[in-house]
Structure 1
Amino acid sequence: MLSLITWILLLLSCNLFKYSASALREATIQYKPLPSLREQARIRDHWLKERISRIPSLLKKHGVDAWLMSQREHAEDTIWWSIKNATDYDAHRRTVLLFHTNESTLEGYPNPIKWVDNTGQVWPELLRVLKDFNPRRIAINIDQNIAFAGGLHVGEYDTTAQALGPEWMQRMVNVPLLGIEYVTTKLETQLEYYRDMQDIVWLMMEEGFSRHTINPGVTTTEDLSWWYREKMLTLNLTTWNHPRISVLTEESFPGWSGTDDIIQEGDLLHIDWGITAMGMNTDTQHMAYVLRDGETDAPDSLKQGLKKANRMQDIHLDIMRAGMTGNEVLENCLAQMKVQGIEGQIYSHPIGDWGHDAGAVIGFTNMPEHVPILGELAILPDTYYSIELYAYHFVPERNETIRFRIEENAHWDKETERWKFVKGRQEKFYLIDKSKDTPLWKVQV
């Protein structure tokens, strides 16, 4: 007869084999890694050089001769994060930058001219350059309404005014479109890596919305949110917002947090999140369904809700054109939705250097029909947009009207002069099937 110790070892080996077999079945997702951090820095600095080379023409386009920025460590101008080298973080000491139009008087000077100083010596040197160059209009970032044109801190403004004097301060002008256009314009070479980032996002959602991570009746939405955070670290990624996981009900509304529910069979799950890498950001919203016993697919009523949201995406991309204001796109979309009998809301935004990037917005959740200032901006070409919206749909089995919330990132296509989804869009739910093996995440062997 087998001894007790032998039986225990046999049981343990069977249990280990069970989880090893499960691991082989579940671990089918292969992530394409982004370049090493060192290579990423090289690529990003190449992009930066090309982007900065366009600034002189931008200055001329917007009728200014120079663009002056002054910032200190921990008090950076908003634009700093789009003009810094990949290996820079905070600005050093006081960093003053003067972009110019490459006029002959500044021939031989770098562009921008840069001073890093904590002694005050920057100011007489800046004054000497200004006298040589004699710019008539100098842009500074003092806009009251647009963050990408209002990043000059009050203390730095006062210091600059005191150092340069009224003669030069009279030439300072607020040109918000300068910062907006610089930040939001994307390079063609960025798209390859932005597609790779979208692939990673979709694969992470496929893995997260599966039995690999979810055990209905045990796993909570907060558990899943933190799984995404931990998973990002393993892929050398970070994020610009905490992944927000929700169980969608009639009361669920877009916001800044998810829910804290135990995930159950029959739940409709939702994620709103984005990753950060290569100096770029994504923003995506998808949905998943937890199958009940005996189900092999989501109910048709839920599928109809997703199709309605997909139809809103079609309307949005059909109408959206460069040169239109955000409010014009919104108004036309809402009118077309009404014609087609669709109720919902649109709140799209630029994306790229930031999760919520510079440029025209198309609706806000609290401003569903018209957005002052940001909605009145013209939509620029060569930009990325998050097409973010929800459709109302009544679900008879639940006696609830649910907001079907989806979001995809779109890029400007030069050939068609239209926006296209970078990866595609969600047209069917991720399915979590309780009949499969125990989740691998948090398994105690």
Structure 2
Amino acid sequence: MFEDSTFTLPRTMLWSFWLAISLNFLGGTVGQLHPREPAQYRTLPSLREQALILDRWRDERVARIPELLKKYNVDAWLVILSLPISQREYAEDTIWWSIKDATEFASHRRTVLLFHTNSSSLAGSPNPLRWVDNTGQVWPELRSTLRAYNPERIAINVDRNIAFGGGLHVGEWDVLHEQLGDSWMEKIVNQPMIGIEYVANRVPGQLQYYKMLQETTWAMIEEAFSEQVIQPGVTTTEDVEWWYREKMRFLNVSTWNHPRVSVITPESFPGWAGTKDTIREGDLLHVDFGITAMGMNTDTQHMAYVLRASEGETDAPVGLKEGLRKANRMQDIALEKMQAGKTGNEVLKECLTQMDSEGITGQIYSHPIGDWGHAAGAVMGELRILPNTYYSIELYAYHFVPERNETLRFRIEEDAYWVSDKQGWQFVRGRQERFHLVNWASNLNVQALQIQ
């Protein structure tokens, strides 16, 4: 974790935005960002069309690499992404999945990629230079290329703490040292920010499809948290989880984690699992899940309330609504302070100051999202928030609910994208500002009419 006095974090936390902090602040006025119309399931292009789109995005992203190398004062990137990339089949560097062709599902043999700055002897050469080899011939060719290019600083992915800058396997490191020799290995440098920025930065064409993925995510939640799926006293939280899995299969999307559905109680905070409860009237429900398609991921948490239809209840209790408003206020605080260029420590200090002045207790543990569910990007420590990225604003607020005489965690999460220095962040689809309501009475009314 961090120390309040210095606002420092261990380096293992630098690659992702985990603000797991205690916050105290009072609620404030929030904008109406809950979409007015129900979400619709969005149909993605055919897989063949998707492959063309994905490769175009990849080419746009790779074209930025020479400038990234110059930014971090390196001449070449060896071993996946920024420098040459050296990897064996089924032992891919993490970065591989963000630079491969859409129709590649694993690297072939040993794949070596050498990214360069398009200068000197390599000007006009393919970027990256690519070797696919299982004979060892790659090494003399690589040495010959390096002699001609004569780079002074060669980045490889050997960072100890950052997944997107540390994907080179130990065996490949040994081979690299053996084949290049001391003279070249002395020029090797560790610069994980090249990989982080490459993976984190979005290209404009992605947003259109990311909005489609997010609306489909909302549509699934709206259907799952309704009387179409849930029958109080019969349906379990596990039933709803597997409904999500089957629905994803039907929609031809996948997921990066198993959906987690919970009944929220003062004791329940299952983390990476749902609860195992039969859903009943009066329950406060929660889901945490994301879908994967077109090389992108969503990550969303919403809450629902099961109306006490047998007692004529038509809306959630006021105390629950107040808890959701507090969580919305926490979202406002986080996005206001997450200005591109600030270090994570600066953001953390500003959040703590603001939230302490407003008096609400909770935690914010947001993270970058994009190519991965927990993707490249850094907010904590001395790394700076990057523009042109997506973040998942994940948090909960504590709130005492008088109607239940309980203090509950109000857990929400929405994906946001960077718009500009002037406009800052916007939610991809909006955010949850009212509960999904499970109204079993509507089904009972239909049944009664059918009997008559």
TM tier relative to shorter chain: 0.7 to 0.9
Q: 1:273-330 CA distances to partner (integer Å, 9 max, x unpaired)?
A: 1111110111110000000121000000100000010111111112210111223222
- What secondary structure, in the 3-state scheme, does the structure 1 residue paired with 2:229 have? coil
Match of 2:88 in 1: 72
How far off its partner does 1:268 sit?
0.3
Q: Equivalent residues in 2 for 1:271-350 (5 A)?
A: 271-292=287-308, 293=310, 294-350=312-368
How far off its partner does 1:211 sit?
1.0
Q: Do the aligned partners of residues 108 and 315 (structure 1) sit closer, same or farther apart at CA in structure 2, a change above 3 Å counting?
A: closer
1:95 is matched with which residue: 105, 111, 115? 111
How far off its partner does 1:30 sit?
4.5
Distance 2:326 2:270 in 1: 18
1:406 is matched with which residue: 412, 419, 436? 412
Distance 1:430 1:334 in 2: 31
Q: Equivalent residues in 2 for 1:76-225 (5 A)?
A: 76-225=92-241
- What secondary structure, in the 3-state scheme, does the structure 1 residue paired with 2:441 have? coil
Q: 1:56-86 CA distances to partner (integer Å, 9 max, x unpaired)?
A: 1110110000001111111110110111111
How far off its partner does 1:256 sit?
0.8
Question: What is the one-letter code of the residue matched to 1:420?
Answer: Q
* Residue 265 (1) aligns with residue 281 (2): yes
* Residue 379 (1) aligns with residue 385 (2): yes
Distance 1:86 1:58 in 2: 23
Q: 1:358-411 CA distances to partner (integer Å, 9 max, x unpaired)?
A: 1114xxxxxxxxxxxx54321011111111111000112322110100011110
Q: Do the aligned partners of residues 375 and 245 (structure 1) sit closer, same or farther apart at CA in structure 2, a change above 3 Å counting?
A: farther
Q: Do the aligned partners of residues 329 and 29 (structure 1) sit closer, same or farther apart at CA in structure 2, a change above 3 Å counting?
A: closer
How far off its partner does 1:338 sit?
1.6
Q: Do the aligned partners of residues 411 and 403 (structure 1) sit closer, same or farther apart at CA in structure 2, a change above 3 Å counting?
A: same
* Unaligned residue ranges in structure 2 (runs of 5+): 1-37, 80-85, 445-452
Question: What is the one-letter code of the residue matched to 1:301?
Answer: G
- What secondary structure, in the 3-state scheme, does the structure 2 residue paired with 1:179 have? helix
Match of 1:238 in 2: 254
Asked if 2 retains the 8 angstrom alpha-carbon contact of 1:330 and 1:346, the reply is no
CA RMSD of aligned residues (A): 1.5
- What secondary structure, in the 3-state scheme, does the structure 2 residue paired with 1:310 have? helix
Q: Do the aligned partners of residues 88 and 193 (structure 1) sit closer, same or farther apart at CA in structure 2, a change above 3 Å counting?
A: same
Question: What is the one-letter code of the residue matched to 2:157?
Answer: N
1:54 is matched with which residue: 61, 64, 74? 64
Match of 2:54 in 1: 44
Distance 2:183 2:378 in 1: 35
Distance 1:53 1:29 in 2: 36
Match of 1:435 in 2: 441
- What secondary structure, in the 3-state scheme, does the structure 1 residue paired with 2:440 have? coil
Q: 1:232-276 CA distances to partner (integer Å, 9 max, x unpaired)?
A: 111110011111101001112261111111111100000011111
2:430 is matched with which residue: 421, 424, 429? 424
Q: 1:43-63 CA distances to partner (integer Å, 9 max, x unpaired)?
A: 010000010011011101100
Distance 2:40 2:382 in 1: 43
Asked if 2 retains the 8 angstrom alpha-carbon contact of 1:29 and 1:207, the reply is no
* Unaligned residue ranges in structure 1 (runs of 5+): 1-27, 362-373, 439-445
Distance 1:212 1:86 in 2: 37
2:243 is matched with which residue: 213, 227, 233? 227
Aligned length: 400
Asked if 1 retains the 8 angstrom alpha-carbon contact of 2:399 and 2:409, the reply is yes
How far off its partner does 1:104 sit?
3.0
Match of 2:43 in 1: 33
Q: Do the aligned partners of residues 388 and 29 (structure 1) sit closer, same or farther apart at CA in structure 2, a change above 3 Å counting?
A: closer
Distance 1:406 1:328 in 2: 24
Q: 1:85-129 CA distances to partner (integer Å, 9 max, x unpaired)?
A: 111111111001000011130134211000111111110110110
Distance 1:419 1:350 in 2: 13
Distance 1:271 1:328 in 2: 31
How far off its partner does 1:205 sit?
0.5
Match of 1:396 in 2: 402
- What secondary structure, in the 3-state scheme, does the structure 2 residue paired with 1:246 have? strand
Asked if 1 retains the 8 angstrom alpha-carbon contact of 2:89 and 2:108, the reply is yes
Distance 1:390 1:330 in 2: 16
TM-score (norm 2): 0.86
Distance 1:240 1:164 in 2: 38
Distance 1:128 1:291 in 2: 72
Match of 1:11 in 2: none
